[in-house]
Structure 1
Amino acid sequence: MQNDVIVVGGSYAGMAAALQLIRARRTVLVIDAGLRRNRFASHSHGFLGQDGMDPAEIAASARAQLMAYPTLTWVDGRAEAAGGVKDAFAVTTADGAQHEGRRLLFAVGVTDQLPEIEGMAERWGRSIFHCPYCHGYELERGRIGVIATGPMSVHQAQLIPEWGEVTFFTNGALALDDAARADLKSRAVTIEETPVRRIEGHADVLLADGRTLSFAGLFTASRNAPATPIAGTLGCEIDETPFGTQIRTDATKETTVPGAFACGDVARTPHSVSLAVADGAWAGAQLHRSLVF
């Protein structure tokens, strides 16, 4: 069977796109490996109508709503390869099955490449975050640490004082010029240049000189990359951004391969659930138009 659209990735952006298409009575196959980016977080914030909800519950409810439509098929599995051309694409899953579609949509999400600091990975999404709009309010204007990963971290340190008293750990990731130092000082940001040794407890930063500084939460700017290379192997161009790499798309969310589209975190910055849903909804409508016109 040839589907109208194969959606690779069934998280928020992919499901939002699929919803537009199945409501246009198009046949849609969603292939999902089940690894949502925010699977480590227990609460999702900043998404209108779902503020404070468990993100797993949001995803499960959305999937149940999609499954009520007869033209949707859902495959739990990992898409390993994609080939073909517009109107004749094929996606192969890890079990060897091949699925055909007239259009492709990559909504595979991204991986977060964190600083190599002991104790950081296991606290990611729990007491260490990237988005203050998603998690800053719950820190109750307490002490917040920002751990630098590069020049973009200065912007993070400038913004986060809106949510609490900030200490900026440069951690050897950048050299601050006089202008940046003056700006951070004007925002009451404490600059700490002693290297970070590891993270302990809830959000305790152990420094190389033996000091331990405790915080309500920590922020860092992870570097992102597509969660799977499948779009690149099809031939889609990948762009370098200040945040990492992402799939290049035009205003309609079409990639550089005709008939293949991309949306969500893998195709835009900045990242949040609400922005991913909006991007997916737009991509779904544009995919439908490409089938009509």
Structure 2
Amino acid sequence: MEQKHFEVIIIGGSYSGLSATMSLGRSLRQVLVIDSGLPCNRQTPHSHNFITQDGEKPAVISAKAKLQVDIYKTVQFYNGLAVKALKTENGFEITTESGAVFTSRKVLFATGVKDLLPEIEGFAACWGISVLHCPYCHGYEVKNEKTAIIANGEMGFEYAKLISNWTKDLRLCTNGKLELTSEQTEILKKNGIQIFEQEIDSFEHNAGYIKNIIFKNGEKVEVKAIYAKPPFEQHCPIPEVLGCDISEQGLLKVDAMQKTNIKSVFASGDCTTQMRSVAIAVSTGSFAGAVINKELIEEDF
């Protein structure tokens, strides 16, 4: 790639990054998108709750988006992993894993998060297929089915309450000693929600579609879907190295304009919000692109 300097470098070329790129490409901005090709939903068969794309395969949505963004001739793509960013007098210097160096005035991180899956045999194989994180994204497809929730304490109680909207055939698996209050326990039982405190050994599944939860005591529970919210970390460590603030939840802190606390550094998509969905990633990316363009105009006018 001959061009080395850009007005904006976007790190992360999935839904949020591509949406921001479209805003900036249509604003005639010189943009470089650096992407390593590992979206967090790459194992998910279908995307939902995104108007005009409901039920489409995630890879199809992103491929179509990239084709549409590629129309804008001021946009370029670099297939690789950004590993380092330095603040310079005039902006930023971004270095990739292969040693390529690019500079820009503004940087947008649309890098998502990395889920830290528990060491339960079968969990990783089912993740995004029948082990789900969001009922708004996938709840309709498993409505009224035998469903389990893996959670405990306050989160387990609230999660069970939420999922009961989609199915009444529900059980809460705490994977260890129950941490609910006696009042919460009674409320769940009153609503017909079974509670299993046994530690989980493995998932019995067929190509990622859950059949049974196997507990360490040998007990087996048949389910068609599981909801879980495993811990996560930032997929890209660069923002924190640059000095960007991280919330208690492990998310990049941004203001209403998608700005981080570091001047000229923006963030959008899953790395900034617990509401992880394609629709929200697209929305925040599109808005971030418009804000970045406006900031460039203000600086140059």
Shared fold (TM-score greater than 0.5)?
Answer: yes
Kept after mapping to 1: 8 A contact 2:20/2:290:
yes
Q: Any gaps of 5 or more consecutive residues in structure 1?
A: none
Kept after mapping to 2: 8 A contact 1:158/1:187:
no
Partner of 1:232 in structure 2? Answer: 240
2:276 to 256, 268, 271: 271
Partner of 1:33 in structure 2? Answer: 36
Count of residues in Structure 1 that have an aligned counterpart in Structure 2:
290
The one-letter code of the counterpart of 1:274 is: A
Q: State whether structure 2 residue 259 is matched by structure 1 residue 254.
A: yes
Q: State whether structure 2 residue 215 is matched by structure 1 residue 210.
A: no
Q: Which moved more, 1:31-40 or 1:170-179?
A: 170-179
Kept after mapping to 1: 8 A contact 2:153/2:180:
no
Taking the TM superposition and a 5 Å limit, the aligned residue runs for 1:124-273 are 124-148=127-151, 151-164=154-167, 165-172=169-176, 175-201=179-205, 202-203=209-210, 204-241=212-249, 245-273=250-278
Q: Which moved more, 1:67-76 or 1:191-200?
A: 191-200
Q: 1:86 Cα deviation (Å)?
A: 7.2
What is the CA deviation profile of residues 129-166 of structure 1, one whole-angstrom value per residue up to 9, with x for unaligned ones? 10111111111411001011664232211111122211
What is the CA deviation profile of residues 220-274 of structure 1, one whole-angstrom value per residue up to 9, with x for unaligned ones? 0121211120111111111112xxx111111111111100001100011211111
Using structure 1 for the length normalisation, give the TM-score: 0.95
Distance (Å, rounded) in 2 between the aligned partners of 1:250 and 1:150: 30
Q: Which moved more, 1:53-62 or 1:154-163?
A: 154-163
Kept after mapping to 1: 8 A contact 2:152/2:180:
no
Q: Which moved more, 1:1-10 or 1:61-70?
A: 1-10
Distance (Å, rounded) in 2 between the aligned partners of 1:186 and 1:27: 59
Distance (Å, rounded) in 2 between the aligned partners of 1:234 and 1:248: 13
Distance (Å, rounded) in 1 between the aligned partners of 2:152 and 2:126: 17
Identity %: 38
Kept after mapping to 2: 8 A contact 1:149/1:221:
no
Q: 1:30 Cα deviation (Å)?
A: 0.2
Partner of 1:284 in structure 2? Answer: 289
Compute the RMSD of aligned alpha carbons: 1.4
CA 1:149–1:266 in 2, change beyond 3 Å: closer, same or farther?
A: farther
Distance (Å, rounded) in 1 between the aligned partners of 2:186 and 2:28: 58
Q: 1:173 Cα deviation (Å)?
A: 6.8
The one-letter code of the counterpart of 1:132 is: P
CA 1:261–1:192 in 2, change beyond 3 Å: closer, same or farther?
A: same
Taking the TM superposition and a 5 Å limit, the aligned residue runs for 1:3-18 are 3-18=6-21
